[in-house]
Amino acid sequence: MNRDWIATARTLSQALPYLQRYDGATVVIKIGGHAMGSDEAMESFARDVVLMQQVGVNPVIIHGGGPMINAMLGKLGIESDFVHGKRVTDAATMEVVEMVLSGTVNSRIVQAINAQGGRAIGLSGKDANLMICDYADRELGFVGTPAEINPEFLRNLAEAGIIPVIAPIGVGREGETFNINGDTAAGAIAAALKADRLLLLTDVAGVKGPDGEVLTELNAAQIRELTAEGIIAGGMIPKTETALRALEGGVRAVVILDGRAPNACLLELYTEHGAGSLIRG
């Protein structure tokens, strides 16, 4: 008998406790622009999402798209202003952000999931008032902070067997369109759903300790300590802050992991070792 088949059967058998553990669980997955990578990587991600749903998970996908937005702004010759290192989203930039996120990026993910036999639907936070926002900082223009989430809409989709793929675009109280940080949007949605897991797929292996090794498990106190010591720094700070807010909002655990690694979501959910850095309260 083929050894690969035997190994596959053994792997499935070992996964049984984890399949049972996540049956009926809501898992929110944030996939960043860098983690989307090639068509092959997108196909692999989509297959993992469909498999997760097939074995009883309710997946909710939120995506970013920073590199794609930057590329389109460059093509159109739209220059950005920055305040404290953050892009100012004026009306012209907001049009491009919405076009890229709700159009190009969102439809690519939806198409990939549907091609693997799933039933995905593309949304933004403007649909069904999914994410009502306040201004994050008036100096930054149309950058929003989620103030109200409509989780019932997403629960209805899950009951119908539909996988929501959400662009981080929100609506203001006076009809404005807002750009939302993808991690922030994912954390707010995960908290509103009281998700079992929030998976933040990024382009690093996880949260690293003083020796540069990935920390496989952390709690809130350790994150605050590592941040105060400057070990958690740069782009990892907003991700760990998102994780802490999500935990405070009722998410059971958050995982920061490398979305470029093959089958990263399956490794995290269905193996003893897991993947990336698991953060609990």
Q: Is 81 a catalytic residue?
A: no
Q: Is 196 a catalytic residue?
A: no
- Catalytic residue of the set 122, 239, 249, 276: 239
CA 228 to chain centre: 25
Q: Is 30 a catalytic residue?
A: yes
- Catalytic residue of the set 48, 127, 183, 196: 183
The answer to whether the CB of 58 falls within 8 A of the CB of 158 is yes
- Quote the CA–CA distance of 218 and 279 in Å, as a whole number: 5
- Catalytic residue of the set 30, 64, 187, 249: 30
Q: Provide the 10 A C-beta neighbour count for residue 270.
A: 24
Sign of the Cα pseudo-torsion (263, 186, 101, 236, in order): negative
Sign of the Cα pseudo-torsion (81, 100, 42, 152, in order): positive
| Neighbouring-strand partners of residue 148 | 132
Structure tokens at 59: 């997946």
The one-letter amino acid at 208 = K
Q: Is 206 a catalytic residue?
A: no
Number of alpha carbons in the 13 Å side-chain half-sphere of residue 6: 3
Q: Is 33 a catalytic residue?
A: yes
Residue 245: name the closest of 149, 111, 141 by CA: 149
Gyration radius (Cα) of the chain, Å? 19
- Catalytic residue of the set 66, 209, 274, 281: 66
What one-character-per-residue DSSP string does 226-249 give?
A: HHHTTSS-TTHHHHHHHHHHHHHT
Cα–Cα distances (Å) from 133 to 22, 58, 97, 174, in that order, read 31, 25, 16, 10
DSSP state of 139: G
- Catalytic positions, please? 30, 33, 66, 183, 239
